[in-house]
Structure 1
Amino acid sequence: MTIQTTRLSDPAVRAFVTAVNAHDREAFLALLAPGATMADDGSDRDLDEWIDREIFSSHGHLEVDNESGGGRRLLARYSNDTWGEMRTRWSFTVDDDGRISRFETGQA
């Protein structure tokens, strides 16, 4: 059962999923804290290069199946033009000002 994006608990995570699904790079980047970092399958990646390749140039899309940790951990079906659809986990670190300082993803 998919959770509607508008029903996600954490405002920063909700905005992240919304920006990914709208392919809105500007809104996505505005959510990130200065110096934000990310990891994919346990390895730190270059954030700008990764989001371009895995989200924006390949039409990434998130369908959230489950949330935990106050809305900062997701289980989701992620799809893009490169890899098709896969089950993924996402976790987010959100700063006091409501911006995402780190996110981690990988196959679930």
Structure 2
Amino acid sequence: MSIQVNRLADPTVRAFVTAVNSHDKAAFDALLAPGATMADDGTDRDVADWADREIFSSNGHMDIDSESDGGRVLTASYRNDTWGEMRTKWHFTVDDGKITRFETGQA
């Protein structure tokens, strides 16, 4: 049973998932701190390039299965038109309402 996005504990992470699922690139970009970084399966990636490829141009969508660490760690079923659906884990570092780093990968 998935967790409703509006019930996620961390407001910044909740806004991130909302932006991903509504394909709202402006809202997504606004959540990132200047110089924000990310990693996919342990490899650092360019945030803008990765987000365009894995989320916005491929209809990315997150269904949240669980959360921990005050909502900063999520397990989700993630799907997009490129890779289909997979179980993923997401770790967020949030500072003053902005995401400074996120890491994702298969769970």
TM beyond 0.5 = yes
Q: Please, what TM-score do these two structures have when normalized by structure 2?
A: 0.99
Deviation at 1:66, TM superposition (A): 0.2
Match of 1:27 in 2: 27
RMSD of aligned C-alpha atoms? 0.3
1:17 aligns with 2:22: no
The one-letter code matched in structure 2 to 1:89 is K
Consecutive aligned runs of 4 or more in structure 1 exceeding 2 Å deviation: none
Deviation at 1:98, TM superposition (A): 0.7
Deviation readout 1:14-71 (Å, 9 max, x if unpaired)? 0000000000000000000000000000000011110000000000000000000000
Q: Please, what TM-score do these two structures have when normalized by structure 1?
A: 0.98
Unpaired segments ≥5 residues, structure 2: none
Counterparts of 1:49 and 1:98 in 2: how far apart (Å)? Answer: 23
Query: How many residue pairs were aligned?
Result: 107
Identical aligned pairs, as a percentage? 74
Match of 2:8 in 1: 8
Unpaired segments ≥5 residues, structure 1: none
